[in-house]
Structure 1
Amino acid sequence: MEKTTFWQILESAKQAAQGDQQLQEQVLISSLEKLEPEQIIGFECILREYLIEADHYNIQAAQKIIDGYVSDDPYLYFRCWLIGQGEAVVAQALANPDSLANIVEDPYQDFEELLYVATKAFEKHAGREEDDETFPRAVALERGLDYNTGSETKGEDWTENQLPKMLPKLWKKFGPI
């Protein structure tokens, strides 16, 4: 799968869902299940590449300000949410995480379900539910795309007292009073 196709599928689902993440998940699964198995696997691999790319201290700082805390799972689900917003939002956030102040309305943005759409689509396409080495997650891990332990957070770590100056728009919108 080409990255342009990946983004087209994501953005089409986002438009169709109009902010309803459950619907976005279902549209993604429906779109992916119509593809060939290798394309579904490609979607999973590209998703993982972007999850790894978005593993940056600046993105983590944005989540800290928005949610008030950071821990492993919510940070992963926040990056899923970010990717679910589409290519332009991801590119802008990677270049300047403070740009999220223009997009995020409420705290606790997550889209954990994005982690499972390729597997669910593969199950439907293959007509089986028993995960094995041919399923997208297993193939992606075999290719070294592990968003949990396969990479280190990029960039420079921060302390809480740096956040107001580091991301002033997000701090103004979500920081403590």
Structure 2
Amino acid sequence: MDDTTFWALMDELSSQPGDRHQRLEWLRGSLWRRPAAEAVEFQAHLEAACAAVGTDALWRAVRRIEGGLCSDDGFDYFALWLVAQGRGTYQAVLADPDALADVAEVRALVGRDLREWHDDEWPEWEELDYVAQEAFGELTGQEDDGCEAFHEALDAVQEAWAEPEDETGAAAAAVRAGTPRLDALFPAQPGV
């Protein structure tokens, strides 16, 4: 699976009707119709896209949205959610974290107490991280004990794809720019 195919799946996932469970079922079905190696490659692309999200500017943006309550795991789940928004949204937010203020799912949270948010409303999506492994297990007949084989295959793909990091300075520019629109939508919580 190449980068274009991965992002085409993410774009289609973002436009699927239904709740997150139904959208994951659609993605799982899409991966089941491919060779098992593509489920592994899908996960490698997913993890690479999520790793790029880990900037200080995006951490601050997510903390702002979530009222200062973002754990390491919560941020990882945010990265998965962001990738699932499709390539255009993902790239816009990476370039300028304040672009989260334009995402409909984020805007739907404005002015609402965190305790009123339903599980599917949080800008986090942990379950997306398991769909490729589940598809791999189904495709290889190793549903119960396929985890080790999946992770060995994933490690091999990631090692083959490894490239030296390219420092472009874009993350530093995003930090300097801040998130004025998100700050206006989600005012700082007292005591946080």
Q: Is structure 2 residue 131 aligned with structure 1 residue 131?
A: no
Please show how residues 21-170 of structure 1 align to structure 2 within 5 Å: 21-68=20-67, 69-103=69-103, 104=106, 105-106=108-109, 108-129=122-143, 130-135=145-150, 137-143=151-157, 155=171, 166-170=178-182
Cα RMSD after superposing both structures: 2.4
Aligned-residue sequence identity (percent) comes to 28
Residue identity in the other structure for 1:127:
G
Pairwise CA distance, 1:114: 0.9
Asked if the contact 1:17/1:27 (under 8 Å) is kept, the reply is no
Normalising by structure 2, what TM-score? 0.76
Aligned residue pairs total 162
Pairwise CA distance, 1:127: 2.2
Pairwise CA distance, 1:133: 3.8
Aligned in 2, Cα 1:36/1:144: closer, same or farther, shift over 3 Å?
Answer: closer
Structure 2: segments with no counterpart, 5+ residues: 115-121, 160-164
Q: Counterparts of 2:5 and 2:158 in 1: how far apart (Å)?
A: 22
Partner of 1:159: none
Asked if the contact 1:80/1:112 (under 8 Å) is kept, the reply is yes
Structure 1: segments with no counterpart, 5+ residues: 146-150, 157-161
| Structure ID, larger Rg | 2
